[in-house]
Structures are given as structure tokens and as C-alpha cells.
Chains A and B, each alone.
Chain A
Amino acid sequence: MTSATLARPKPRRDWLPGTLFLLPTFALFALFVVYPIVYNVQASTLDWDGVNVGEFVGLGNYTELLKDPIFVTTLKNSGWWILLTIVPQALIGFFLALLLNEKIRGRSIYRAIFFVPAVLSPVVVGIVWQRMLDPFNGVFAKIGRATGLEFLTKGYLADPKTAIFAAIVVNVWMWTGFSMLFYLAGLQLIDDSVLQAAKIDGASTWKTVTAIIWPLLKSTHLSLLLLGIIGSLKTFELVYVLTEGGPNHASEMLPTYTFKQAFQLQSVGYASTISVVLLVIAVVSSLSMVRAFGSGFLTGDDKK
């Protein structure tokens, strides 16, 4: 290759092959991401039942939404869900991962057992937990009556003050194994020589965990945080089966309320408005994280 060749400006059509390679992906993106979003935004400006001709109402659905007390409840519940699932799931998952990263007998079996809830259908989990939490005939109530532990006999799913928290507990039970698996994968990536060096320097186990392992798993924490936020905002099946968003909407989440509006109340326009708000919250959350921690945090790369 001569210097003359290197100096020659690139032909203008060099970009064409790259663009053509990108086109299939772009087409899929447009079809499955852009189109539904545009469709939803347009539907959110309509008073529409999803079947018959809709009536344009401009921002009327958004104004209505801001005055809707159930919508406010869904936002509060989403906040609780994000806070009370991500942190406990991460902490329990982290300590389980630490434990099961040690060479203990049958650790593969333990790993599988802790991960099993994450692969179960949320519908099955919901039905089983609803039965277990039933204050009349559930397992917890029976144990509570047998042992005198009164708190186990309460109807947590039937009380508007506690229903959302009971659902959150079930969700934490279900997804902690998933966090554990993430942390296990992260732990495998930590260079053993770092831990050996800490040991030689006399670092205690607690110090090693808190000052070395925990910071080195930063990308895992952030990945779980992002997945947790998105997962919390999308929560549907578990809540729908456990409480149907009740009693009296006390455990309503954005997706369950959207479903009810669209398919039970035949208000597809209003449901689309909720979906648009949900989308905005999800995008803002994700972009904020990317801005705060850098786009490379998901892959473990340095901040970019």
C-alpha cells in the first residue's frame, strides 16, 4: 500500500455497504419499536375503544390522567416496588452468591434451588402465594395459629395498606435467585490474585467483601439496578394474579391499570396515555443511569 493510496480521500459511496448492512436491523427496529411507539402516542390523543372510530381529544387524556387518583397510586406503588425489590434482591442475592461461590458440598444443587423461582411462571407463583397467604386456610396462617405468631395470620393481600408490600415480598422471593446468578457470574470474573493479595495483607473477610469484592462488582450492581427499574415498571402478571391490583386499586401498577383501561373498560386511548407515560419514565430512568454512570457500565467497560 503506497502513501498515495493512503492519502486518497475515501469514495463518497463507501458508506453504502455499511448502511445496507444496517438496514435489516433498522427495519426491524422501525417495525417493532418505532411503529408501536408512534401508534401509542397517536392513540393517546384519542377517545377510542380500540375497535370503532376514535375521537380526537388532543391532550385531554393526559389532563385526565393527572387528575386520576388511581394513576397517582400506580406511581407510588412503582416507587415502592423499585425501592423495595432492587435493594433487598441485590443484598440477599449478593450474600447468597458469596456463600455459593465457596467450595461447599452440593453447591450446584443449592444454586439451582435458589434460581428455580426465577424460571417459574409468575402466574403459578401468584396462585401458590395467594393460597399460602390466605389468612383463613393458608400455610402461614396455620403456622401462625399453631405457634401463636399472630402476625402470620393476617390477611396481607386483603388489606389495602399492606397488599402492595405483600406482592413485593413475593417478587423478592421470586427474583433473588436471578440476582444471585448475576453476582455469581461477576464473582467468577474477579481476579483471584487480588483476593489472595488482600489475604496476604491481612484483610478480614468482612473487609475483603466490603472494600474489594463489592466495589469490583460495580457493573453487576448497575446492571441489576437498570434491569430492576425496568422490570419494576413492567410488572404485570404477578400483581394481576396475586391481587388484581386491589383491594380497591391499592396494589395497582402501571401495566395492570393499562390493561384494565384497555381491555376491561374499553378505553384504549386512555390506556395508551398511561403507556406513553410509562415509556417516558422508563426512558428517562435509563438515560439518567447512562448519563450518571456512563454507557459502558452494562459491559463492565470503563466509563464512556
Chain B
Amino acid sequence: MKRHKTFMAVAAATALSITLAGCAGGASKDESSGGESGTSGTLTFRSWSPIEQTTKQMVDTFTAANPGSKIDSTIFNYPEYLVDLQTRASSNTMPDIIGLQPGALTQQYRTNLMPLQDCASKTWGADWQSKFYPIGIDQARLGNPDGDENFYSLPLLVQTVNLWANTKIFEEKNAQIPKTWDELKSTVDQLKGGEYAPFMLPAKDSWLRNVVFLQIANNIAPGLPYEAEDGTKSWADPKLVEAFSYWQKLFTEKIAQDGAIGLDAYPSGANQFEAGNAAMIPLGAWWIQQSDPSKTGLPPLSEGMSGYQPFLFPTIPGGAAESQFVGGIDVALGISKNTKNPDLACKALTDFIAGAGAQKLINTFNDLPAVTGLNPEKFTSDKQKQIWDTFTTDWMPKVKYSRYLKSPEMDTALGDALSAVATGQLTPQAAAEKVQAAQQKVK
């Protein structure tokens, strides 16, 4: 019995000491990697983007140009990255440079991040903001508390969200890329009956449902979803209910393929589109990377982007006369506020965004650069260059509406409501009211 008691005492003491050593709910004290001050030393970089091979090229370019510097980089899948970042933040091992998304993710780590405007102005001059596409600058501070004008992250890559057409199918069927909702319907009808989906909607992913909805909603009433999110308008506004109705029509009027709500964008939807199994698909500017000059053995449609054409989501009857541009930051970078080597971290971050590292990044067509005037050194075809110019010169400067909502709660509520409408569980009106109810709960 006494032995039992002794065991219990040891167990209790151990559990208590462990508990006291590391409680849940405390803010982390950041301890980034050590290093010499100045422009030599070691940095850690963690992100989900760019991909590993591209990141290695960027890092190699930077370290070659900065002797004595070293960057320990690791690239994860996005869900794993979130786990890694949260764990590191909780265990005081926050990396020096981290990948971020604008809004909720940046805000979650805001207290661990260094304001970057000084780094930016020191590197690019006082008018540094003019180097970036306006939507990138807007979104970099998305969700900052009132009065906080700091930039806790700077955009690395930006994008539009839009539709892509398989031009081979369109040419074969003598079809025109649709500019209005009615044209979309008639084009889908015209393209039906083949071995491909006229309009492939990989709607299993919440992010894809939301970006398609935001394109529809902004085409009906530009800017209204963000007013609803700010509380100045309601999600149950008739114009937004109409947007839910048009989303529903994608399913009820058989514009999207059967089983759309069960198909993911990556890898399934993208693979099918690349294999020629779809005439149209909603993705974004990043699809231009299908013709990465460093890759060989590309599928025929992807060779020089020969089989693809980007276009904007068609206008909606009674809505805006022109299709609206929706997009924003793909990935942004932040620096841990407790980095041991802020100068080197600033130098690496600005190099990745607009220096030699950025050039390596852009050469792979990973997505569009956050800064203007940065172009790939090599295009795989004139068509790819023409598409690139469309994105960087014509579309990106005009992107006014965000592909994100500010809070993850609203992103989730909207994605759930769209899923429920698509499967017939909710009417557009009920879905809009449900999103509004979620909005009222957001702090």
C-alpha cells in the first residue's frame, strides 16, 4: 500500500511539474535561430510556397550573393505548415522568415512579427509601396487593428482568380469564350455530349467554392460581400441572395459536371483539365505554371500554354456591365520580431520579393510577382508571354476585390453555406441568413 502511495506521489509530482513547466494558453516568447548581426549568419525559412525546388534556387542565389550567409529552408504542404508554425510559435522556435496568408493567418502571428515598412523603405526607398500591385498592399494589412498601419507581412506572389478555357475544345466545337451568364449556359449546352465536362467545377474545396462565389457576387454587386463582412450591409441582402442563387444554378441547371461537390481542385480537377477532360475550369493566374520552362514532357495542352486561355467569370444579368477582377496575395512573407539577425532577414526577404531570388522564383511561373515590372527571363511560347502580359499588365493592376474574407470563421461559414446550397440542403435565402448569423457571432 505504501509503495502504491509512493508511486502516486511521484506520478502526481511529475504531472504537476510538467504542467507548470508548460501550460496551454500562454503567449510564446520567440527565440529565432542565432546568427551574427549584419549580412552574414544563419536564417531559418518555413513556408508552404514556393515549392521546394524553387525555394532552393532562391536560397542558393541569395547565399551565393551574400557570402557567409546560410538559409535553412523547409517547405511543407499547407495543412502541415499550419501545424508546424503553430507548434513552433508555441515552443518558442519561430523561424526567422515565414510564409503567410493575408488576414487571419498574419493576424494570428502579428504579435510575433516584426513591422516591415522600415525594411522596405530602407531597401526600396520611401515610395516602396508603388513597386507593388495595389491589391497586395491593401491585403498585407488586412485585419490589422484600427490605427495599426504596420506591415507585418509583405506580398511575395499575387494572383487573380478567374476561369480557364481549353482552347482546343473551343476551336473544335467552334465555340466562343462566354462573356455573359447566358453565353455561359449556351456554351455549356453546345459543349455537352463529349467525353469532357463543359464546365468542370472542383467544388469539394472550400477555398474554390468561395472564390467562385466572390466572382459571382462581385459581378452582381461589386464590393458588396466585403460590406457585408464589415457589417455595413447584410449577407441576406437581396443582391447577395441572388449571388447564392446563381451559385445554385451552376448545379441545378447542370452547368457544372455531376458530382462537382465531391471533386477536389488539386490533384483531381487540375489533372483532368490538363488531360483535356474539361472545356472550362475556375482556377487562377497560377495555372500559367503548367508551362514551366524547366519542365520537360509536358502534356500537349500545357506545351507553351498552347491549349489554354484565361478569361473572367461572365457577367450576371442585372449586375455590373463588366466582369470584375478578384484576386490578391497568394503568399506573403513575414519576419519574426525576435530574429537574431534582422538585417540579414530583411535582405533575404526583399531579395525573395524583388531581387535576384525573386527572378528565380518568377522564372518558374509559380504565380505572379507581387511587384510590377518583374518578368520571367524565358517564355516557352509567344502565347505564354501574351497570357503573362494579360495578367501582369492588364488584369493585376485592376484587381480591386479580395479573394479572401477577413476571418477564418466567415471563410468557413461561407464555404459551408455554399456546400449546403449545392447539395440542396439550404435555399439561397436560408444560406445567406446562415452566413449573416455567423457574421454576427464573429468578434
Cβ contact within 8 Å between A266 and B408: yes
The size of the chain B interface, using a CB distance under 8 A, is 53
Can you name the residue of chain A whose Cβ is closest to the Cβ of B10? A26
Residue B351 at the chain A interface, CB threshold 8 Å:
no
Residue among B90, B104, B262, B272 with most chain A CB within 10 A: B262
Q: Is the CB of A53 within 8 A of B27?
A: yes
Say if the beta carbon of A215 comes within 8 Å of chain B.
no
**Shortest CB distance A216–B (Å):** 38
Distance (Å) between the CB of B437 and the closest chain A CB?
A: 13
Residue B219 at the A interface, CB < 8 A? no
- Complex interface: chain B residues within 8 A of A56 (CB): 25
Contact B416–A134 (Cβ < 8 Å): no
Contact A127 B108 (CB under 8 A): no
Q: In the complex, what's the smallest C-beta–C-beta distance from A244 to chain B, in angstroms?
A: 6
Q: Which chain B residues border A272 with CB–CB below 8 Å?
A: 24
- Of A52, A130, A272, chain B has the most CB atoms within 10 Å of the CB of A52
- Asked, given contacts A30-B15, A38-B18, whether A246 binds B204 with beta carbons under 8 Å apart, the answer is yes
Distance between A54 CB and nearest chain B CB, rounded to angstroms: 3
List A contacts of B89 (CB < 8 A). Answer: 50-51
Q: In whole angstroms, what is the CA distance A160 to B262 when docked?
A: 10
CB interface residues, B 36-95, toward A, < 8 Å: 79, 82-83, 86, 89-90
**Which residues of A sit under 8 angstroms from B18, Cβ to Cβ?**
30-31, 34-35, 38
CB distance from B99 to the nearest CB of A (A): 15
Q: A133-B262, A247-B423 are in contact. Are A263 and B83 (CB under 8 A)?
A: yes
Q: Is A46 an interface residue (CB 8 A)?
A: yes
Q: What is the bound-complex CA distance between A204 and B194, given in angstroms?
A: 57
What is the number of residues of chain A that contact chain B, defined by CB distance less than 8 Å? Answer: 56
Decide if A248 is an interface residue (CB 8 Å cutoff): yes
Q: Which of A112-120, A151-159, A277-285 contacts B (4 or more CB under 8 A)?
A: A151-159
- List the B side residues contacting A156 at CB < 8 Å: 262
| A263 x B25 contact (CB < 8 A) | no
Give chain A residues whose Cβ lies under 8 Å from the Cβ of B11.
26, 30, 34
- The answer, among A43, A131, A155, A263, for a CB contact under 8 Å with B258, is A155
Listed in ascending order, the chain A residues whose CB lies under 8 Å from chain B are: 15, 19, 26-27, 30-31, 34-35, 38-40, 42-43, 46, 48-54, 56, 127, 130-131, 133-137, 141, 153, 155-160, 163, 243-244, 246-250, 259-260, 262-266, 268-269, 272
7 residue pairs A–B, Cβ–Cβ below 8 Å: A26-B10, A27-B14, A38-B15, A51-B108, A247-B204, A248-B419, A248-B423
Known: A34-B14, A131-B268, A265-B408. 8 other contacts (CB 8 A): A19-B6, A38-B19, A54-B24, A155-B261, A159-B423, A243-B262, A247-B261, A264-B82
